[in-house]
Structure 1
Amino acid sequence: MLLRKYMSLLGVGSALIDLILPKSHYHKGELIKGHFLIKGGTIEQRLRRIECDLMRIDHKTEKETVVDTVTILSSKVIHSEETNHLHFTFQLPETLTPSSQSISYRFKTRLVFNEGVESKDLDIIYVH
């Protein structure tokens, strides 16, 4: 048991997060509704927060910019092998530049624990 705890502190066997979206193409100003799927690891871990950033990537300059952030604070315990669903809503700004070969967007999600390595997820979306 002690070995599993130390392994999860290093990221091996820790809880995972996945942002589940109903589609990948959206219009400027559209309300995105999806959910976070959280899967428990080999031991229970106390969740501190979920951070989800909408990132704009300019491929010409290789610059990555945070457009907006959703943060969910929590003190929930994620039990071993447990699966949880948490609702996600995000309003896309009307001012977004449409996706192109030079501009792309993605959600960068992080599951942050009291102890251990944070879990990360990336989801590409296309804006029209």
Structure 2
Amino acid sequence: MKSILVKEIVGYNAISMNSGNKLKELILGSWNGNERIELNFLDVEVFASPFFNASIGVLLKDKNIEELQSKLVFNNISDHGKKLLNLVISNAIKFYSDTEGNTTQGLSEIRKDL
């Protein structure tokens, strides 16, 4: 199993899209083959959705949830991190499966109100 110690990439705070992009690139660099990828969140204390959107959620654009579940192993992630990760995954599944454009239409309507 390939292991990625997330703290070495992001430090104690997994919050920014930039950090998420770095993790995504490492994941994709290890994706091919039969080996699973462990994401070890040991000592990561703070989580935010932009990080998970850029690192995990975006993977669902080209991969399905079953592929993610069979390939990625999440270890030492706090309960808050798990809840946020599950929310991001759920939202990404809805977003990337929206073939009728309802998600983007909703975003356009929100922007009009701003």
Larger Rg, first or second structure (1 or 2): 1
TM-score bucket of the superposed structures, by smaller chain: under 0.3
TM-score in terms of structure 1 length? 0.23
TM-score in terms of structure 2 length? 0.24
Between Structure 1 and Structure 2, the one with more helix by share is: 2
Between Structure 1 and Structure 2, the one with more strand by share is: 1
Q: Which structure is higher in RCO with an 8 Å CA cutoff and minimum separation 6? A: 1
